[in-house]
Structure 1
């Protein structure tokens, strides 16, 4: 997640019903764009019998989304991980944990834990009530700031 070359590799599947929303989500995480606000989505009547979390993701309009990406691509360097248009660092991950969509929190927490100082165990119940998560995020910030 967050590497521009991955977006390049996935562009041909933007119009796929199953893959398109996931690619759009990856682009939103990497660049910080809101596909809906930018007018880069289409409305699709979904007649699936089973609702999955992926059904809640915006569906990119393939051609305008690809054109938008090709204009933005020079801002991003291969081999570098980005989060909301910035090089992915501890501060950016903590900000995304605090203000980003809850669906992204488990992956962001794992990323933060993998890069935490030795001996620091980060605790965040990503399925807990928001009030509890905010308290745990404040504690998490303190734990990382003291190291």
Structure 2
């Protein structure tokens, strides 16, 4: 992997309050902790990384459009938007780079409305239920795909 390969890591709604939001479900890890994990995994894999979070669906769509020209791959945790957003599905589907979706919890063990995942049907791969380690696994998978 060349040092110039850049990946985009996107985080959706409510992930900015990790560590305070429903610790029984999500644990006490913070988004800052996850960013540290991602940066370490990217450094090991030879990636530069752009790590972002927003609570706004349209902003995620705009950021995904940046991956059309500026990034070798994408890791995305769309959070609740995975279950509601056809716009995110369409933005991911439009990409020619690999997109790996991450969910901290196993959405299949949760409420039935979380069993629908619009982003997953367009993503290259999905890691769900591995907690913060899912992000590291996603980066490793991208490294394999882009290797």
- The alignment's TM-score, normalised by the length of structure 1, stands at 0.26
More strand by share: 2
- The alignment's TM-score, normalised by the length of structure 2, stands at 0.26
Larger radius of gyration: 1
